[in-house]
Amino acid sequence: MISPLESLPLEDIGERLRLARDSAKLTQAAAATAAGMARTTLVAIEKGQRRLRLDELQTLTSVYGTTINEVLRREPVQINLLAQFRKISASEDASVEHAVRLLNDLVRAEVELEQLLGISRSIAYPPETPILPGNVRLQAEQDAFDLRQWLGIGLNPISDIISLLELQLGARVYVRRLPSSISGLFAFDDAVGPCILLNANHRRDLRANTAAHETGHFMSTRRFADILDDGTSETVREERYANAFGRAFLMPARAVKQKFQDITVGASSLSRRHIIVLANYFGVSREALVRRLEDLGLIKRDSWDWFVENGGITDEQVIQVLGALPKDEHKDDADRPISLRMSMMADEVWRRELLSEGQLARLLRLDRLELRDLLDGLGNEGSEADGAPKLLV
Same fold, 4-72 and 81-250: no
Per-residue confidence (pLDDT) for residue 393, from 0 to 100: 55
Give 87's pLDDT tier (boundaries 50, 70, 90).
low
> Residue 323 contacts by C-beta under 8 Å, 6 or more apart in sequence?
none
The CATH homologous superfamily for domain 4-72 is lambda repressor-like DNA-binding domains (1.10.260.40)
Instruction: Tally Cβ neighbours within 10 Å of residue 351.
Output: 12
Per-residue confidence (pLDDT) for residue 91, from 0 to 100: 47
Tell me if residue 186 falls in helix, strand or coil.
strand
pLDDT digits (tens, 9 = 90+) for 230-250: 777 667 899 999 999 999 999
Per-residue confidence (pLDDT) for residue 284, from 0 to 100: 93
pLDDT average, residue stretch 359-370? 83
Q: Is the pLDDT of residue 224 over 70?
A: yes
Per-residue confidence (pLDDT) for residue 374, from 0 to 100: 82
Contact of 101 with 214, CB cutoff 8 Å: no
Q: Where are the alpha helices (DSSP H) in the chain?
A: 4-7, 10-23, 28-35, 39-46, 54-64, 68-72, 94-117, 136-151, 161-164, 204-221, 237-250, 253-264, 272-282, 286-295, 303-309, 315-322, 331-335, 340-351, 357-364, 368-383
Is pTM, for the whole model, over 0.75?
yes
pLDDT average, residue stretch 134-150? 96
Q: Where are the chain's structural domains?
A: 4-72, 81-250, 253-322, 336-383
Domain 81-250: CATH class, spelled out: mainly alpha
Give 264's pLDDT tier (boundaries 50, 70, 90).
very high
- The rounded distance, in Å, linking the Cα atoms of 334 and 69 is 28
